[in-house]
């Protein structure tokens, strides 16, 4: 197997490393005031960071991280440190917008909210978003910014947030997660794809799988299967049809994990949404080389800034709400 293909498989696998592999996240000092906040949710509290610049408007952006052990800053112990979500918070602060980014349950400083991985299901995460929005109810406007799986979580939570001012879908999948996973695995090689296919199909039908090949155990271990079953039940395009909040869809055309077609599917499901395809941007929201190895290197380079067009479109939308 080529080295780059192996890296991509590890990256895909990291999507499903939930509570059991969450790292200890530290929030570095920055140029804008930050405050550690604990939000009460089912089973305890979510740990997060409120970034509130001086003279801030009455708008709060809640930033929802992607899948696996991705922390509040957008960093993942399997994929690397890139600080993409922290950079979003800083970009918003530059525009006078406050933000709250947090470690999802089972991750980093919120790790203790998941005692057993097999107890976690997809809607636990979307329910937490609703609790966070209620906690910050004193803000005049609230906008959800979800990245990758976080985009889908934000869209699911939207139905329980009738007063939501805006929704930003960043690198969000447009097909059910089982379909997306099949596509990603096929890009990694026919052998791993063919052996994964019956496992995925079984989980999609709500049936757990007891016999997992050793090299696929990271992806489909028994303790993560309840989460996968619950996640596979959602079709993001169908969810998007019910979204009422003003919506922005942002997608890079150099994303190895989520494609331009995903963004188009989401946009077609909500025709009054605004969509931008960002040339050269990859999954961690950075300008990246088109070759796979070069693209993957950006996942662990925290010195690379956000793609400038992405930053511009995001700020224009949030500031205009």
211 in helix, strand or coil? Answer: coil
The number of C-alpha atoms within 13 Å of 77 and in the hemisphere containing its C-beta is 14
- Give pLDDT, residue 10: 52
- In sequence order, the β-bridge partners of residue 249 are 169, 275
Judge contact between 203 and 232, C-beta under 8 A: yes
How far apart CA 295 and CA 82 sit, in angstroms, is: 12
User: Looking at residue 8, what is its pLDDT?
Assistant: 52
- What phi and psi values does residue 307 have, to the nearest 5 degrees? -55, 130
Whole-prediction pTM: 0.90
DSSP-based three-state secondary structure for 277: strand
Please name the residue that has the structure tokens 């080389």.
Answer: 289
SS3 295: helix
Q: Rounded CA gap, 177 and 33, in Å? A: 37
Query: d(Cα 74, Cα 88) in Å, to the nearest integer?
Result: 10
Tens digit of each residue's pLDDT (9 = 90 or more) over 87-137: 999 999 999 999 999 999 999 999 999 999 999 999 999 999 999 999 999
Instruction: In whole angstroms, give the CA distance from residue 13 to residue 11.
Output: 5
Angle at 296 between CA 179 and CA 195, to 5 degrees: 35
Residue 123: Cβ within 10 Å count: 14
Q: What is the pLDDT of residue 2?
A: 47
Dihedral pair phi/psi, residue 234, rounded to 5°: -95, 135
Looking at residue 45, its pLDDT comes to: 98
Query: How many other CB atoms are found less than 10 A from the CB of residue 261?
Result: 12
Under-70 pLDDT residues of the chain: 1-30
- Structure confidence at residue 14 (pLDDT): 53
CA distance 127 to 215: 33
* Nearest Cα residue to 88 out of 152, 30, 135, 172: 30
* pLDDT for res 187: 81
Torsion 104-105-110-116 (CA) sign: negative
DSSP per-residue string spanning 133-185: HHHTTTSSEEEEEEETHHHHHHHHHHTT-TT--EEEEES--SS-HHHHHHHHH
Cβ atoms of 15 and 220 within 8 Å: the answer is: no
């Amino acid at each position: 197997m080529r080295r780059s293909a192996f890296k991509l498989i590890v990256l895909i696998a990291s999507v499903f490393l939930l509570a059991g592999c969450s790292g200890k996240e530290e929030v570095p000092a920055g140029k804008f005031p930050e405050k550690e906040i604990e939000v009460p949710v089912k089973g305890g509290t979510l740990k997060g960071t409120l970034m509130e610049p001086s003279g801030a408007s009455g708008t709060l952006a809640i930033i929802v991280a992607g899948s696996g052990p991705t922390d509040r800053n957008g960093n993942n112990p399997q994929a690397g440190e890139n600080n993409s979500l922290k950079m979003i918070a800083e970009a918003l602060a530059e525009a006078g917008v406050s933000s709250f980014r947090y470690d999802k349950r089972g991750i980093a400083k919120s790790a203790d909210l998941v005692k057993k991985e097999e107890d976690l299901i997809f809607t636990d995460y979307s329910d937490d978003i609703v609790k966070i929005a209620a906690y910050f109810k004193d803000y005049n406007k609230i906008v959800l910014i979800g990245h990758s799986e976080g985009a889908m979580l934000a869209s699911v939570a939207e139905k329980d947030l009738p007063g939501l001012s805006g929704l930003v879908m960043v690198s969000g999948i447009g097909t059910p997660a089982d379909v997306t996973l099949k596509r990603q695995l096929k890009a990694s090689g026919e052998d791993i794809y063919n052996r994964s296919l019956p496992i995925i199909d079984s989980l999609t039908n709500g049936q757990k799988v007891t016999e997992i090949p050793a090299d696929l155990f990271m992806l489909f271990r028994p303790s993560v299967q309840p989460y996968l079953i619950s996640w596979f039940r959602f079709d993001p395009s169908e969810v998007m049809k019910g979204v009422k909040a003003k919506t922005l869809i942002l997608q890079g055309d150099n994303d190895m994990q989520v494609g331009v077609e995903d963004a188009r599917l989401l946009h077609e499901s909500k025709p009054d949404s605004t969509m931008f395809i960002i040339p050269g941007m990859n999954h961690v929201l950075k300008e990246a080389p088109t070759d796979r190895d070069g693209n993957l290197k950006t996942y662990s380079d925290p010195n690379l800034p956000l793609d400038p067009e992405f930053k511009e479109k995001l700020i224009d939308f949030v500031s205009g709400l």
